[in-house]
Structure 1
Amino acid sequence: MVRGIGSERFTVAVRAVDGTVVLSLDGELDHDTAQPLREALDAAVTPGGRLLVDLGGLGFCDSTGLNVLLHTRLTAREAGASLELAGLRGPVARMFRITGADEVFPVHGSVAEALDGQGGPDGPNGPDGLSG
């Protein structure tokens, strides 16, 4: 079952795949649109669980969005859960690389790779040339 929340500028679709909660983000993640992501992540963190955030649909992410993800990473860690990222592309991948955030999260090239366990977490490797 897929559950979607958000607004015109930003949406979060949440689904469970083989014990992993996948949150697919689409649009622009900033101060004005971050609340749906906060709520979805808070609801998804469970003891020992695995969260996978698909950033492939994001065209923009500011420091607010990054801070939501970093905060949830700590919350998940305290609960014995993991927070992984997939699909970093373009300007979003560049922001994660410049801030060093791509080094603190396990990052997969795609959701399929993350779910299949192929290639392992290895930093952004999209068509933008910002590979590891």
Structure 2
Amino acid sequence: MDRVTSGSAHRPQFGVEVHRREVGAVITPRGELDHHSVDLLKEAIDSCISEGRYPIVIDCAGLGFCDSTGLNTLLAARMEIEEAGGRVHLAAMAPAVSRVFEITGADAVFPMHDTLEAALTAIEAG
């Protein structure tokens, strides 16, 4: 597992964990995903892409906020991973984060799951 964090006295701490699995990976961001923190998530996703780790599950249970920068990063990753033959699944979104995806219509382009376990089960089922 890889773990990377950032933060300062003026910004809440943001962290990303990557759990490599036999098939694919689970990326777990925690904190507020915005233009200040999105590079940590990009690095985690890029690492999985360069290793060919598909599918990727983004476990959103620890996200309290996601702005348009975070949303665009996830959309760009989805396109890149789907072009390579993989999928990006989103799991366990808090209502405030889920609302951003609903308002923009992004919820229609990602497989969305209520829990991480449901996402992993869906992936194992094929």
Normalized against structure 1, the TM-score is what?
A: 0.83
Matched, 1:76 2:76: no
- Alignment deviations for residues 51-94 of structure 1 (CA, whole Å, 9 cap, x no partner): 00011110010000000000000110111111111011121011
Deviation at 1:48, TM superposition (A): 7.2
Matched, 1:23 2:22: no
Q: Using a 3 Å threshold, how does the CA distance of structure 1 residues 81 and 48 change in structure 2: closer, same or farther?
A: farther
In structure 2, the gaps of 5 or more residues are 8-12
Contact 1:56–1:87 (CA<8 Å) still a contact in 2? yes
User: What amino acid is the match of 1:82?
Assistant: R
Aligned length: 118
**How far apart, in 1, do the equivalents of 2:82 and 2:121 lie?**
22
> Residue 56 of structure 2 corresponds to which residue in structure 1?
51
What value does the CA root-mean-square deviation take over the aligned residues?
1.7
Which secondary structure does the structure 2 equivalent of 1:117 belong to?
helix
Identity of aligned residues (%): 41
**How far apart, in 1, do the equivalents of 2:27 and 2:110 lie?**
15
**How far apart, in 1, do the equivalents of 2:92 and 2:21 lie?**
17
Contact 2:6–2:14 (CA<8 Å) still a contact in 1? yes
Contact 2:25–2:53 (CA<8 Å) still a contact in 1? no
Give the number of the structure whose residues are more often helix, by fraction: 2
Runs (4+) of structure 1 moved beyond 6 Å?
Answer: none
> Residue 3 of structure 2 corresponds to which residue in structure 1?
4
In structure 1, the gaps of 5 or more residues are 121-132
Contact 1:48–1:82 (CA<8 Å) still a contact in 2? no
**How far apart, in 1, do the equivalents of 2:88 and 2:36 lie?**
23
What does 1:47-126 align with in structure 2 at a 5 Å threshold?
A: 47=52, 49-117=54-122
User: What amino acid is the match of 2:3?
Assistant: G
Contact 2:31–2:63 (CA<8 Å) still a contact in 1? yes
**How far apart, in 2, do the equivalents of 1:60 and 1:48 lie?**
26
Matched, 1:33 2:37: yes
Contact 2:28–2:60 (CA<8 Å) still a contact in 1? yes
> Residue 42 of structure 1 corresponds to which residue in structure 2?
46
